[in-house]
Structure 1
């Protein structure tokens, strides 16, 4: 059983949390280029402690991404509680993208540019997908989204906008404007006023 799956002593749990916090901050700034030595130094822990918790950088990145998806499931549940189906959908999409804004590693992981396989984060990803599927179904039934829109379109749409966020193809690239343009294309009635972003 991996150390992360066993009940950890209080000091070991604190060390793991320090590593994840440092890794999350450094991955966000530097993407996959960050080195394990940098993460250990940033967390104030030794390399031995780091490798006991995470045998490789890939293991650490999966843990960071898993944590991000756990947080996104929380925001998705919050969006699902919104009474207006259209506002619920646009809220979850907007917050999903805001979570990735400024986080290079998460953007690259979602764009598939890290070679990261999702073994280790499937449960968190599936939970998020289940909630967003319900939000989409409600928005389609209410006539807010075009009838053929499904959850499989969600990551395609989000990755397209995220590529604007990450690559910034022009000096004035603005992922929020890209999002507004895309939303106008998937609303069942493009003339409908966009719900205010939260």
Structure 2
């Protein structure tokens, strides 16, 4: 026999879901700002609900901590899953890596609870972690097939890089760009390290080598044809033996940039 659900019941369920979302959002902010010492009463005040509402949804602070962490990990899992269809899997993979590293320090108190020897991870956290690992692995494999990530990298390697990167990023202000050392760690995952698409950090222009290999034991030679260059006398040293070689070098650099 079918049981009908009246409008009042539906409204009550909608209110309960809304209050639960308010409590989770308030708890996320409170834990990030003040750590796990925040009381449930403080969370209720921030959420604009009664203390009884908080206890009805989360009988203990541990229950609330677990729900907040599950929500955070599920968000990262959805982020990775949503990027699977990206036109550039490599850029999508490194964008997710950057988000994980930049957002985790704001939740450090929660992460320390999860990593403690107190029965964690619990069932909900374990399932959320497994969803994130599956989504991250799928994105990693797509980036490797695209030739953007080294073929010998595994999800376990990526998680190890996350651990070191978060420890470094923790010393940076909230909202800051990734630390240069973090860029180096993420860049090590690339099939062709370049530091591009991770942050705005770039190598200094003067460190770029856009010429062919030079023979430092002999006099200066044209990098295109190898012809010895005559001393210019006064003024800037010559780099090419002729205008034709200069043009060839220009076309070669343009081709490298176009395919790079």
Tell me which interval the TM-score lies in, with the shorter structure as reference length: 0.7 to 0.9
User: Scaled by the length of structure 1, what TM-score is found?
Assistant: 0.79
CA contact (8 A) 1:28 1:104 kept: yes
User: Scaled by the length of structure 2, what TM-score is found?
Assistant: 0.62
Rate the CA distance shift 1:21–1:196 in 2: closer, same or farther, 3 A.
Answer: closer
Q: What pairs up with 1:27-176 in 2 under 5 angstroms? A: 27-108=31-112, 112-113=115-116, 115=118, 116-166=120-170, 168=171, 175-176=178-179
Of 27, 42, 67, the residue aligned with 1:23 is 27
Count how many residue pairs are aligned between Structure 1 and Structure 2: 186
CA contact (8 A) 2:102 2:166 kept: no
**Secondary structure of the equivalent of 2:123?**
coil
State which structure, 1 or 2, has the greater radius of gyration over its C-alpha atoms. Answer: 2
Structure 1 residue aligned with 2:232: none
Structure 1 residue aligned with 2:215: none
Q: Structure 1 regions of 5+ residues with no counterpart?
A: 1-6
Of 11, 17, 20, the residue aligned with 1:13 is 17
Q: Structure 2 regions of 5+ residues with no counterpart?
A: 1-9, 201-260
Structure 2 residue aligned with 1:3: none
Q: Which has the higher contact order (CA 8 A, sep 6+)?
A: 1
**Secondary structure of the equivalent of 2:155?**
coil
Q: How far is 1:197 from its partner? A: 4.8
Structure having the higher helix fraction is 1
Q: How far is 1:33 from its partner? A: 2.2
Structure 2 residue aligned with 1:194: 196
Q: How far is 1:174 from its partner? A: 6.8
The question of 1:183 aligning with 2:186 is answered yes
